[in-house]
Amino acid sequence: MEITLNGKIMTIADNSSIAELLESHNLPAVRVAVEINGEIVRRHDFFSIRIKPHDRLEIVTLVGGG
């Protein structure tokens, strides 16, 4: 299925969970925050929440800044 991840359209396996998506990108859950369609998903929901076709996801992390 197609989703928009961090502004880019990409294809992922149907019915993926957020945990599976993070795993496929080698991203530890403790170092990211995730939004689906503008709503924050809590970390403890990463395994249970399934991504739907055309969902808009943002995966953010902390970087250097002032």
- Do you know the residue count of the chain? 66
Which 30-49 positions form the footprint of another protein (CB under 8 A)? Answer: 30-33, 35, 38, 40, 42-43
Distance CA 29, CA 44 (A): 9
C-alpha 1/C-alpha 26 separation (Å) is: 20
In the complex, least distance from residue 26 CB atom to another protein, rounded to whole angstroms: 5
Judge whether 14 and 1 are in contact, CB under 8 Å: yes
Q: Which C-beta is closer to another protein: that of 1 or that of 12?
A: 12
Contact positions toward another protein, by CB under 8 A?
5-7, 25-27, 30-33, 35, 38, 40, 42-43, 58-66
